[in-house]
């Protein structure tokens, strides 16, 4: 008889000879009986529909949980990213220098953290580090500004041409292209130009044009003239005067057949362009044509 013949018999897999032999055995009847009786066995009742409902309920329960968890996780992720960005940019911005600039025909007054005051003339820019101000009073300047420095530690104004250092005073610094001028109105100012230091007492000026130190006029006022809405010059090449006119009145200047290196001494108004043009043209013996936003200076003898 083959292996597991009872299982084979039940499955109808016995050969006829085997089946005949099995039927002759004493146990056959007993097996037959067991199979008969077990065929009427029943498992406990099971309601498929009910069980399915239960599974559905549990599913939605679990799904609801997932839905609730998800946005919170998302929110946390977004919140973390925002926190990193905010702190990052806070530290970054903190290290950035403070920058203040003026446009053409604009003046601006700035009060520094130590109550020092700066008045910016037209088309000028200063920058300084607010964070480091307590340790180091340093201003970078491009253009022209008047400084009223509160007493305290060394105060420096750095321009591309030279560095001005003071302890507490009032002074004006102008640096435009190759023109560099420092005027001291109160106290003592130290100007370092081309590695050479010059002490500037109150009521004196230091001026350098094109890298050469030139003798400067002596200011007769306590504040720079531009702060009184005027621009005054003493033996200054005309091109710098015209450039200043351009800045103060926001008017485009063109020249024709005139010597812009001739020296000019005088004052022009920063409020009235017509008046200013006359103040410039009459002493220099040149003519001008003023149209809209443009002014053309030309020699008297050209048509």
Partner 1 sequence: METNLQDNVCEEEVFGSIFKANSKTVFNYIYYKFGNEEKAHDAVQEAFVKLWENCSKVAPEKAKSFVYTVANNMYLNVIKAEKVRLKYADKTLRTTHESPEFLMEQDQFQEKLDLALNRLPENQRTTFLLNRIDGKKYAEIAEMEGVSVKAIEKRMHLALKSLREQIDGI
- Counting contacts by CB under 8 A, is residue 95 touching partner 1? no
Looking at residues 34 to 63 of the shown chain, list those that interact with partner 1 (rule: CB under 8 A). 34-35, 37-44, 46, 48, 51-52, 54-55, 58-59, 62
- Counting contacts by CB under 8 A, is residue 218 touching partner 1? no
Q: Which are the contacts of 22, defined by CB distance < 8 A and separation ≥ 6?
A: 1, 5, 9, 14, 28
State the nearest-atom distance from the C-beta of 44 to partner 1, in Å: 5
Neighbours of 278 (CB within 10 A): 14
Q: Which are the contacts of 9, defined by CB distance < 8 A and separation ≥ 6?
A: 19, 22, 31
Q: Which of 30/83 has CB closer to partner 1?
A: 30
- Counting contacts by CB under 8 A, is residue 234 touching partner 1? no
DSSP 220: -
User: Which residue has tokens 């006022």?
Assistant: 221
Residue 20's nearest CA partner among 35, 1, 48 is 1
- Counting contacts by CB under 8 A, is residue 80 touching partner 1? no
Stretch that binds partner 1, among 4-12, 89-97, 104-112, 177-185 (CB under 8 A): 4-12
- In angstroms, the CA 179 to CA 175 distance is 6
Stretch that binds partner 1, among 25-33, 157-165, 208-216, 272-280 (CB under 8 A): 25-33
User: Which residue has tokens 């839905």?
Assistant: 67
Which residues of this protein are in contact with partner 1, per CB under 8 A?
Answer: 3-8, 10-11, 27, 30-31, 33-35, 37-44, 46, 48, 51-52, 54-55, 58-59, 62
């Amino acid at each position: 008889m083959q292996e597991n013949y009872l299982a084979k018999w039940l499955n109808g897999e016995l050969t006829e000879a085997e089946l005949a032999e099995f039927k002759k055995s004493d146990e056959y009847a007993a097996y037959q009986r067991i199979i008969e009786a077990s065929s009427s066995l029943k498992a406990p009742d099971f309601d498929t529909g009910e069980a399915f409902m239960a599974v559905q309920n549990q599913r939605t329960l679990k799904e609801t949980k997932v839905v609730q968890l998800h946005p919170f996780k998302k929110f946390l992720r977004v919140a973390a990213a925002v926190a990193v960005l905010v702190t990052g940019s806070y530290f970054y911005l903190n290290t950035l220098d403070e920058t203040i600039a003026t446009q053409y025909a604009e003046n601006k007054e700035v009060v520094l953290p130590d109550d020092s005051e700066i008045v910016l003339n037209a088309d000028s820019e200063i920058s300084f580090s607010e964070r480091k101000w307590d340790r180091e009073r340093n201003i970078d300047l491009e253009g022209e500004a008047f400084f009223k420095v509160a007493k305290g530690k060394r105060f420096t104004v750095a321009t591309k041409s030279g560095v001005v250092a003071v302890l507490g005073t009032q002074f004006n610094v102008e640096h435009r292209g190759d023109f560099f001028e420092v005027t001291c109105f109160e106290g003592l100012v130290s100007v370092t130009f081309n590695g050479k230091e010059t002490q500037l007492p109150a009521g004196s000026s230091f001026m350098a044009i094109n890298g050469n130190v030139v003798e400067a006029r002596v200011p007769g006022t306590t504040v720079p003239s531009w702060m009184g809405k005027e621009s005054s010059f003493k033996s200054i090449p005309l091109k710098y005067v015209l450039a200043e006119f351009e800045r103060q009145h926001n008017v485009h200047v063109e020249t024709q057949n005139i010597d812009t290196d001739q020296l000019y001494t005088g004052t022009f108004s920063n409020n009235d362009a017509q008046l200013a043009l006359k103040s410039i043209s009459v002493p220099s013996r040149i003519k001008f044509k003023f149209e809209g936003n443009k002014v053309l200076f030309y020699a008297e003898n050209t048509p």
